Amino acid sequence: MAKKWRQQVKNWFAKTLDLPEDVMMDLPRITMIGQIHIYVENHRGLLSFSDKEVRLLLKQGQLLIKGSSFVIKTILPEEILLEGRVDQVLYLEQ
């Protein structure tokens, strides 16, 4: 019950104060440029990486990115920029 109430309060603050929901609710922000770049902000860490698949930890769940020829162009504690061919972006709930 308290968890649901907190979520409602966060939603209200985000809308009332005109704050981005990804900031208030700890959601990832995903920016794609065509199928060649994907930039993910606000993740909790890199779980696995290969040239065909990248798995990122989120506050709630995981983000699975599938494709080919992946190269990490930039990696910071909460941000990652991948280059390659992006075929799928999947949100996996825990």
pTM of the model: 0.76
Is 4 within the bounds of a domain?
no
For the chain, what's the residue count? 94
- Number of domains the chain contains: 1
Residue 81 lies in a domain: yes
More confident residue, 94 or 75: 75
The answer to whether residue 20 sits within a structural domain is no
Q: How far apart are CA 31 and CA 21, in angstroms?
A: 15
| CATH, residue 88 | 2.60.40.2000
Contact between 63 and 92 under an 8 Å Cβ cutoff? The reply is yes
Helix (H) or strand (E) holding 39: strand 37-41
pLDDT tens track for 56-93: 999 889 999 999 999 999 999 999 999 999 999 999 98
- 49, part of any domain: yes
Q: Is residue 48 part of a domain?
A: yes
